[in-house]
A and B are shown apart, each in its own frame.
Chain A
Amino acid sequence: MTPTAIDYQIMWNRLVAVVEEQATTLIRTAFSTSVREAGDLSAGLFDRSGRMMAQAVTGTPGHVNAMAESVTHFAREIGLQNIYDGDVFITNDPWLGTGHLHDITVVTPVFRGGLHIGFFACTAHVVDIGGRGFGPDAGEVFEEGLLIPICKFAERGEVNELLVAVIRANVRTPDQTVGDMYSLAACNEAGNRRLQAMLDEFGIDDLDGLSDFIMDASRKATREAIAKVPDGTYRHDMTVDGYDRPVEIVVTLKVDGDRLSADFSGTSGMSAFGVNVPEVYTRAYACYGLKCAIAASVPNNTGSLDPFEISAPEGCILAAKRPAPVSVRHVLGHLVPDVVLGALHKAMPGTVPSEGASALWNIQISARPSDPETGLENAEILMFNSGGTGARPSVDGLSATAFPSGVSTMSVEATEHVGPITVWRKDLREGSGGAGALRGGLGQVIEIEARDGYDFWFNAMFDRVENPARGREGGHPGAAGRVELTDGTRLKSKGRQRVRNGQRLKLSLPGGGGYGDPKQRDPWRLIADIEAGMITADQAAKDYGYSGEDK
């Protein structure tokens, strides 16, 4: 049967369900907290030439292009002639996968009637990959853990036992890390079963026709959307804290008809710490920011991603060279959309939000007995926390909400069951939203103390402490972040630090920037903010010129 255009539309719709099912399988079986609770994964289907046909919508824009590109690396490294039914490929190479060693990408070739017709791929953040652990302190990627080059995890259904043994011997959580690799392989299998059923139903033997249909329609829709952006060259820059010294991110956006390119020339050089970003990850976040503003409704696939031509000169902090450390590349990566949206603002004013907290304030807590002699057990606790997003041209920013990342926070009650800490506070940080006609989203305040018998260590990797999120069109900046003890002692915003029993760590997360002149804020919204305690009376007077009389 020759499929009609309607058939292709139906199959495309089905593929979206197939990759969602693939992702659901992974979420339900993974060990990694960040996969299950935060959606730090991706899943997709590719045709035999490595073009991504469909991708599940998950919590991680950082995987968008990264995974889309990775399959072509697999095809090249393995060689099409060496691909067999029952094979499973694997890598966590930051430059060929999704930017750091903790992300494992697994690719499974799809066969039909003995012929290789495509690939399923998926990526997940594993609990541990050895080395120094998840943190910025390594000097080279070699210290950050085990790097698995592109290779076969299984060949013709036989798992490579040597590989598994090497991995088990090199990580702190062998059962969970290797278990997650099996989960990844299983989710590809789940996708494959469903795909085969669809091909049976429509009576087709390969993906080529469908892939062409998806690519053409998506490319066309994306190009049409880009063509609506006024032509020109738009340069924008933003300074952020970085690790040991400020980082300047510079982007030049060029729009010419239905072509768009973004280049990060002029951006600061690499850091000695693991905040460096492989270019693939920069491309992912830059593309995500642009796509949200220009072609949000076009689903992710090679056809819709290719029109965004994004580059960064090798050796800058956004295109780190091997063997740079890259473990916490997400911090700068999360700030990339703010810069590209700033450039886009010049092309399309009144469309994009102000800058936000953007980089997550994730905190990894290692609870240790204050006195090792007590024999109390160690515990590791991970929390995901978000500051405020930038105000939008017609709506206030979102308070304590992740953007551009899409991760979720965990329940405090559940967290307190995981390890011996008490979270005394996790609520909105009053007055932290940048003033504006539209107010920036509020950050949050978190206070953490070790329970009896414990101290804890935490690994700080917090940005926007020195450089708050800026407003647009006269909007004020959001409040800068702060890291301190509740007694007022300031702590460093980067690096591993100890909080002793009885002390309380206090994190004040940054707010988002405001949009437009605060004096133009709708007085009713202003009054509502004062009543709710979202802004203080002082702020109302100082930033908004509110006298309290025009109520």
Chain B
Amino acid sequence: MSMSDIRVGVDIGGTFTDVALDHPDGMATCKVLTDYTEPERAILKGIETAARKAGIALHTITQVIHGTTLVTNALIERRGARTAFITTEGFRDVIEMRSENRFEQYDLNLELPKPLVPRKDRFTLNERVGPQGQVLLNLDADETRRLAERIVEAGYEAVAIGLMHAYANDAHERMMADALKKLAPDLSISLSSVISPQMRELPRFNTVIANAYVQPQVSAYLNRLVAKLRNADISAPVFMLHSGGGLISVETASEQPVRLLESGPAGGAIFAAEFARSHQIDKVMSFDMGGTTAKICLIEDGAPKTANTFEVARTYRFKKGSGMTVSTPVVEMVEIGAGGGSIASIDTMGRIQVGPRSAASEPGPACYQRGGAEPTVTDSNLVLGRLDPDNFAGGEIPLSVGLAQQALSERIAEAQSIPVSEAAFGVTEMVDENMANAARVHTVENGRDIEHFTMIGFGGGAPLHACRLCEKLGIKALLIPPGAGVGSAIGFLRAPFSYEATRGVFQTLASFDADAVNAALEAMEAEARAFVQAGIGDGRTTTRLTAFMRYAGQGWEIPVPLPHKIFTSGDTDAILAEFESAYRMLFGRTIDGLAPEITNWSLIVASERPQPETTKPQAGSKDAAVLRRRPIFDAALRSIVDAHEVERSAMTPDSVVAGPAVIIEAETTTIVTSAYRAVGQSDGCLLLVRKDAK
């Protein structure tokens, strides 16, 4: 990027469309309401506002980077194309039978999510490919023609093709696609061997169907967006942030919209990762808390952790298993139903429960005075003195302490026979506990020890809760970056161009076939490189190769990073060593007597990211100006403490305030508990450090 580059990041969220514009003199940001009918209108409005703030003309913008929840929402709300699914005879119901289990064991009236494509729209072909790609039953050309006619006649808007073992041999999928194209050249067709060439039929079929289902809509939207920008004199290329945390061209996004699923949250993770890099912190847990959910992501060596499957559109209290598993590269995040709007209640055992139900923005928490009667996390924070009733959202939303107390009293305190303040403590402590538990389990699943991590907190709710969370998790340092309100949009501007190609190539290590692997890797690299070059031309790139391996008989593969090279049969010892080291990292040991095997490969090609300027930690040698003192409740001490109130703007580099303290700004409030102190950093971050940390 040269100094004359003017890049703009746009994140469409459920309520707001956020814009961050990076120009030679700094960064201009703004928030506008999301426009549900024509999202591109809000984008243009936001860009215009930001450009005005920055004092630049629209035509000088050199790059537009966009991320959106549009794809996720289309899946959740079932607003996709009328889609046909073509699969192997005998496997019509894979997506309906799912994993044949119930994600909630004790609910006799449980309902499973309905498949995106209903049974009447699922068609089969008499064909079969075996696990090594061998054809067990030939596909008849007449049959493909007849089925193509049927589908075209029925007027489907999109077609997904997913055949058994197509990751190992895509010939039959291509035959079917060709038959369709012959009759309907413009029909939207998605192939599982292109969209998600990995072993395991359920996630692969889900993924290709999700892609087909949203493709016409996303493609139309992106075309409209590009046209609209062009009309407004923004002829800069548009790039999309994909769920793996990199950029792809708008054309690729139109063809593979399933890659956009988690693009907004991925932007948040990149935002945090950028601060991890500039502050040179190896192990970071990003914590993003909003009104309804909290998201946690591990960032190591400046890179957010990624996975190749995840679950979208959970239908049942964010419960694992209640959504749809898709396999596409994604920044791995744990999402739980915990936010400022989360509602507190008493369960049948007389216990305080918080979330996942949320009062959202309408009616909102009781203290918003918009008719909400149920107590929420925000109400509890208000009662505990952590929020200032007269200065919430920069004073735009006056809060009623009385209504918050009333809701807590009626729904919690009376049932428990405890004072309202204790009920409020119980509510915030329970939500913090839920988030801490999720964070702990996530690090355990990854074989990591959470106490060695630094937390980076952003999103409206995180600065209120992050410090207490660190106390619970034994985390000693917490970074609260500036601009956290539009974190994702800023993150977009920091993302590399990248594309992850995956292939299912099943081999035991003992019968490692280097030629087959090299051939697959070569094809994967060509595929990935083509997408990246669309963004950066001949710019410098890096590659990252991962083999997914396990011991024979195990059901889960673990990611094993390997050097990207031409393999020979002599490399098996080195691969084994890498596998054992990764296995030991996760499980603490290796197993003798079992044969390792490789199931899938992943190759990421990414543009090189410039190393951000290093931020030297500030010691905190001068005291920040204190506005006043105000009482807040300190959860660890179980008592009200006398806190310093400081303006965020007063937390200049090297300024320090010792907890208990409240640092206020228009967008959010940072709580510094008695055990921590906060130091202003040169890049505007707040660094909270445990007072007793060495």
Contact = CB atoms under 8 A, between A and B. Distances in A.
B426 interface: yes
B352 A221 contact: no
Interface in A389-407: 392, 394-395, 398-403, 406-407
A20 B320 CA distance: 13
B91 A5 contact: no
A422 B200 contact: no
Contacts of A531: 120
Contacts of A59: 101, 105
B153 interface: no
A123 to B, nearest CB: 16
A13 B433 contact: yes
Contact of B102 (A225, A401, A426): A401
Contacts of A376: none
A400 B199 contact: no
A398 B112 contact: yes
Contacts of A4: 422
A296 B106 CA distance: 5
B511 interface: no
A413 B199 contact: yes
Given A298-B348, A398-B110, A426 B437 contact: no
A214 to B, nearest CB: 9
B430 A24 contact: no
Contacts of A352: 108
B416 A427 contact: no
Contacts of A57: 105
Contact of A20 (B200, B422, B441): B441
A8 to B, nearest CB: 9
A412 B91 contact: yes
B108 A353 contact: yes
Interface string A2-35: 0011100110111001001100110011010100
Interface string B412-430: 0000101000100110011
Contact of A221 (B348, B434, B444): B348
A402 B554 CA distance: 22
A175 interface: yes
A481 to B, nearest CB: 16
Contact of A190 (B94, B111, B444, B592): B444
Interface in B428-478: 429-430, 433-434, 437, 440-441, 444-445, 472, 474
A424 B90 contact: yes
A28 B433 contact: no
Contacts of A10: 426, 429-430, 433
A31 B593 CA distance: 12
**A175, A225, A412, A422: residue with the most chain B Cβ atoms closer than 10 Å:** A412
Interface string A337-376: 0000000000000011100000000000000000000000
A164 interface: no
Interface stretch (B74-82, B391-399, B537-545, B583-591): B583-591
Interface string B45-73: 00000000000000000000000000000
Contacts of A417: 131, 199, 506, 599
Given A292-B106, A428-B97, A28 B556 contact: yes
A416 B130 contact: yes
Interface string A472-496: 0000000000000000000000000
Nearest to A384: B100
A293 interface: yes
Nearest to A303: B349
A81 interface: no
B99 interface: yes
A1 to B, nearest CB: 9
A444 B98 CA distance: 13
Contact of A398 (B94, B102, B130, B553): B102
B570 to A, nearest CB: 25
B128 interface: yes
Interface of B is mostly: loop
B120 A13 contact: no
A294 B429 CA distance: 30
Contact of B350 (A217, A297, A395, A398): A217
A508 to B, nearest CB: 13
Contacts of B105: 57, 59, 61, 406
A10 B99 CA distance: 33
A411 B201 contact: yes
Q: Which of B128, B351, B429 has most A Cβ within 10 Å? A: B351
Nearest to A532: B119
Contacts of A31: 551, 553-554, 591, 594
Contact of B418 (A5, A14, A299): A5
B377 to A, nearest CB: 15
B165 interface: yes
Given A20-B441, A175-B591, A298-B349, A428 B96 contact: yes
A62 to B, nearest CB: 12
Interface size range on A against B = 35 or more
Nearest to B347: A297
A21 B592 CA distance: 25
A400 B101 contact: no
A350 B347 CA distance: 24
A392 B445 contact: no
A411 B200 contact: yes
A131 interface: no
B164 A413 contact: yes
A121 to B, nearest CB: 19
A395 B107 CA distance: 12
Contacts of A403: 102
A451 to B, nearest CB: 7
Given A36-B554, A406-B102, A13 B430 contact: yes
Nearest to A406: B105
Given A33-B553, A531-B120, A24 B444 contact: yes
Contacts of B108: 292-293, 296, 351-353, 392
Interface in A175-206: 175-176, 179, 186, 190, 194, 197, 201
B26 interface: no
A176 B553 contact: yes
Contacts of B100: 384-386, 400-402, 407-409
Nearest to B451: A197
A414 interface: yes
B591 A9 contact: no
Contacts of A14: 433, 437
A422 B128 contact: yes
Interface string B515-554: 0000000000000000000000000000000000001011
B199 A414 contact: yes
Nearest to A446: B90
A28 B128 contact: no
Contacts of B587: 28-29
Interface string A410-436: 111110111000111111100000000
A149 to B, nearest CB: 27
Given A407-B101, A413-B199, A21 B165 contact: no
Given A10-B433, A422-B128, A428-B96, A411 B349 contact: no
A146 to B, nearest CB: 19
25 contacts: A4-B422, A6-B425, A12-B351, A13-B434, A14-B433, A20-B441, A36-B554, A197-B474, A217-B351, A292-B108, A293-B108, A299-B349, A395-B111, A399-B93, A399-B96, A402-B100, A411-B201, A411-B202, A414-B199, A417-B599, A422-B128, A426-B90, A426-B97, A532-B120, A533-B120
Considering the complex of A and B, which 7 residue pairs feature the smallest CB-CB distances, nearest first? A425-B90, A17-B437, A532-B119, A296-B106, A409-B100, A175-B593, A408-B99
Interface of B: 89-94, 96-97, 99-102, 105-112, 118-120, 128, 130-131, 136, 164-165, 199-202, 347-352, 416, 418, 422, 425-426, 429-430, 433-434, 437, 440-441, 444-445, 472, 474, 506, 551, 553-556, 586-588, 591-594, 599
